[in-house]
Structure 1
Amino acid sequence: MPPRPSPRTSPTHFLCIPLVTPASRPQLSKSLAAFKADVTSQDSFAIPTDAVRPLSTLHLTLGVMSFPNNEGVDKAIEVLRSLKPREILAGIKPLSSITSLAAPSQASNADGATQSLSSLNITLRGLHCMKSGPKADPSKASVLYAPPTYSEGIFQAFCEKIRAVFEEAGVMDKDNRGLLLHATIVNTIYVKGARGKKGSKLTIDATDILDRYDDYVWMEDVPVEKIAICRMGAKKIEGVDDQEYEIEAEADF
């Protein structure tokens, strides 16, 4: 009898762009607090408080990695520290037209973006429902996220190139599903003791939430500062009502 294939190893780390920085914190703190107060209110949508992600966990995942017993993490850190983000950015050719993800406020800056690609500023706008099958069903949502916006498709291309460096170095499995950049705002998996019928994943009807927050600005025109490798599993921050992921290593943009 042939040996059974070994089960796929669970991810232990992830590569990301942290979204909470000194520049973004005032905007994100205000927008997330207002959103949480609204959607968790019994007079509004009454979703569980724990479903709304803590401020300091917000990030954009570029890819996940698995390092059982920390074997291989040193190589991933070497890859991170060898990155030259500005050179990668400078090598990206902007698209001839603004992508559908471009923020209206950034469209007027498209000409400037094509002339100088030495920095990246991010805007988080709107709220979308993550797919749980062939298509997203807002009436049975478990994850809601805010997409980053940027003109000319520059930011998406930059993130894909960064991820490709790690894939080519063999520290990250290739993912053919494409890179969906998203900042998770709501995830029902974190609601303690709550499950759906017959033990299924807890879902919420987010139809009206998505309508209300379709054009909501979470943060606007904030520069990318770091690229980081973090450990899975957010931990509580002592003394405050917040959580954060442990940073294994980070590189300045």
Structure 2
Amino acid sequence: MKIALVDDERIYLDEMQKLCLEFAAQHTIQPEIFRFSSSEDFLKSWQPGFYSIIFLDIFMKNGNGIETAQKLREGNDNSLLVFLTSSSDFMPDAFSCHAFDYILKPITRSRVFQVLLDAQKLLPGNSRYIEVNSNRQNIPVFLSDIQSAATDAHYLDIHLKDGNLVRTRMTASEFLKLTGEDCRFLVINKGLILNMDYIFNMENNSCIMTDGSRFPLRIRKAKELALTFRQYQFSQLRQEQKNKGWNT
């Protein structure tokens, strides 16, 4: 997750960076934070779509946050915009720029966390990761890279999209707890977990993956599993449409 912080007061840049890092640590997100003390500095290095979320101060000595936001939208930048402001008087102007949200100063931990949590639901989940111990080393594994996870005695084999295998001493329930009950991961059989982003279809009590591999569904729950998969597909489609509509 690439986060831009644009504010001419260092105290707020420091506080926002601290809270963003704290949130990321709690939600297993790997953030990249970029700080700018003026709109001018920000626009010099700005590229459309580079940032996932932009926290933009409205009142700055050198540059108006709303004018900066308008330039972003004119440049077809679909990043989530969150305004930082000491007054809510300018909110109508702010939301005319299709702002995602705003945070009133003084900044509070609970407010920043809530905005980040809401933003996380809209953003692609490719920044979240877990750490597992494999061959006596702690290895970060991005959730978006995991195709499947299968238990083998006291071990769990985590298959990645690039074909690599990460083997760790872990149960299926421990894995699900690590992922934070991420809705992408579906238990289709005893000790067998699939990432629904890599499921192509479910038919004849089997799950067909996008790479052509097949896994057996738990027969008694085949219909329930197929329904869960269809609901996930529908929710993803709605989210994509919502994201497109938000930025038009």
TM norm. shorter chain > 0.5: no
Structure (1 or 2) with the greater strand fraction: 2
Instruction: Point out which structure has higher relative CO (alpha carbons under 8 A, 6+ apart).
Output: 1
TM-score, normalised to structure 2's length? 0.23
Answer with 1 or 2: which has the greater Rg: 2
